Structure 1
Amino acid sequence: MEKTAHTSHTSLEDFYREMTDKLGADLESIFPKGLHKDIGHFNVFDIAQTIEKMKMTSEMPYNRRKYYKISLIRGRNRAEYADKTIQIRQNALLFATPKVPYHWIPEDSLQSGSFCVFTEDFFIKDRSHSTLEDLPIFQPGNVPLFEIDDELADEIQELYTKIKKEIASDYIFKYDLIRNYVMELIHYGQKLQPAAKLSTSNDASLRVVSLFIELLERQFPIESPDQRLALKTAKDYADRLAVHVNYLNKKLKDSTGKTTTEIIAERVIQEAKILLRQTRWTVSEIAYALGFEEIAHFSNFFKKKTLMAPLEFRS
C-alpha cells in the first residue's frame, strides 16, 4: 500500500496530552517533581511500560517536535528520514531535534529502553554553548541515529537508571545533576559513527519531495507584520531535512520540473500577492515578513516575477 509522508509539529503540551490520554494517567502523576519555569523542562520515560500501556501497534508518523528527545531503543526497528532508511537490528541511540522530521517503525514486539525529553532552556544553563546546535550531535545536516551493541546499550541504560532515580528524589540540585547525565548521553552519541545500513529508494525520493512541500507550506500564511519566514533559501530547507542541497534540488527537479529556488519563489510571490491585496500593510512590512532585508530587493523580485511593481499590483 502506498503511503504519503506527513509531518506535524508536536509541542510539549501535545506530548503530555497524548501521554495522559493513552496512559490513562493524570498530568500530576507523570510530571516531574520540583520543576519550575526557570529550570526549563525535562522528563524521562520507560519505553516498555509506555508501549504496553499505550498498546502501540501502529507506526509513528513523521513528526517535528518542539523539544529535544534522546532515546535508547532496544528491539528491531526501522527509521526513515527524508532520503535515508536505517535498519536497526538490535539497539539504537536516537537524538531527535526540533528541526529534523523522521518516521520510526517498530519491527518486532520486543521493544524496551528509555527516553528523555527536554527543552533547550533546560539544557543551556551557564554553559558556553549559545544553542544546542553548537553541539555536533545537533547540527543541521546530520542524521543522529546510531546502532549500538548490547554492552554499550547496557551502559547507557544504567545512565538512564541514574536519571530516573534522581528525578524521583528530593535532592534540591537534582536537575543540575541530570543536566550532567544528559551531557553524558550526548557525548556517547558524539563518539559513535552513524549507522551503516543506509538505503536510498524511490520511496525516499517521494518522502523528500513531500516533506519539502510540507515544510514550505508551514511557513504560511503570514498573519502579522512581525511574523517572518524562518526558511528562505534552498539550503535552509535542505538543512532542515538533513539532506544535501544538491540532492534536494535534483529530487524536486525530477518530480516537479522546477528547482528548489523556483518553487520557493513561486510560493513567496503567491503570499506577496495575497498580502498586497488583502492587507493594509506597507510594502516595507510585507518585504520584511517575506524575508527581504531591503524593500528594493523585494520590489525587484516582485517585478521580475510579475512584471508589475508591488504598488502597481495593489492598485
Structure 2
Amino acid sequence: MTNFITIASVSQLHNLLGFGKPKHPLITVIDYSKISSLPEWVNVRIVSDFYTVTLKTPSPVGLLYGRQPFDFDSGTMIFTAPSQVIYVSEDNSEVQFSGWGLWFHPELIRRTKLSDTIRQHEFFKYAINEALHVSNEEEQMLSLVLRNIECELLSGIDQFSQSVLVTAIEQLLNYTQRYYSRQFATRNNQNVDYFSRFEKLLDTYLNSDNLPSNGLPDVKFFADQLNLSPGYLTEILKRETGKTAKEIILLELVEKAKLMLLNSSQTISEISFQLGFENPSYFSRLFRKKVGMAPLEFRGLN
C-alpha cells in the first residue's frame, strides 16, 4: 500500500530530515549532503505545499517525479510547485546525496509582485526530462544568490526580511529564466524535430474521422505524445514560430474550417460539430476573431 506524506511547514520538513529548528517559518535551504533516504520512505508519495528550486540532486534508484525517474547529472536543476508529487519506490539509504534545495512557502511571497509573476515561470511545471543543465559558471552564480539567502536567514527576522528574501528569490528565478533561454537556443535541432513531429500529430488529429467524437485538440494531448510538459512544448513552438501551441492549434482549426466552408454545403452548426466544437456559437466567435468576419460572410465573399 502506498502512503502519503504531506509537507505543510518548514518545521515538518526539518523534522522529517532530522534537521534542527528552522531559522524562518516559511523558507529554508536544505543541504542534501546532510541527509539520506530512510527505509520508511519507500513506497511513499511525498507532496509538499512549497515551491522548490533544487541544484544537483542525487540520482538514486527508484525515485520518481510524476511518472518519470530522476536522472540527474552534475549541474542539473529541477523546480517543483506546491502539490506536485515525488514517489520513493526503492530503498536509497546507501545513496550519497549532494547539492542544495531552496524551499519556500507561497505565504512568503503573498502580496508581493512575485506572487503574480511566479506563474510566468513555466519551468515549475516542466517534466524531469526537461530539467535545466547549467555550466560551472552558471552554477556558481546561482550558488552565490543562494548563499545570500542563507546569510539573510541567519541574520534573523525583522520588518525587511520578506522584502530581502523575495528579492533574492526573484533574482534566482530570473537567472534560471536566462539559463533556460540559453538551453532552448543550444538545442535548436532537437526543437525543430519536436516542431516537425507536432505538426504531423496535429495534421493527423485534424484529419481523423474521429475528430467530432474526440473533440477539440488541446496542448496536453500533443505534449503527452511527445513526452513533454505542455509548458515546455509551448516554449519550443514560441521560439520556432512566435506562436504558442494553443494559437497554432486554433489557427489550424480555422484553416480547416475555411476549406469546409468553401467546399461543402454544410451548415455552420454541422461544420462546427465536424471540427469537434460542442458549441457552434463558440466556433463562430473564434472564426470571426481570427478571420475578421463571420463564417457565413466568409462563405459569401468567396
Please report the TM-score for the alignment, with normalisation by the length of structure 2: 0.48
Structure with the larger helix share: 2
Bigger Rg over Cα:
2
Please report the TM-score for the alignment, with normalisation by the length of structure 1: 0.47
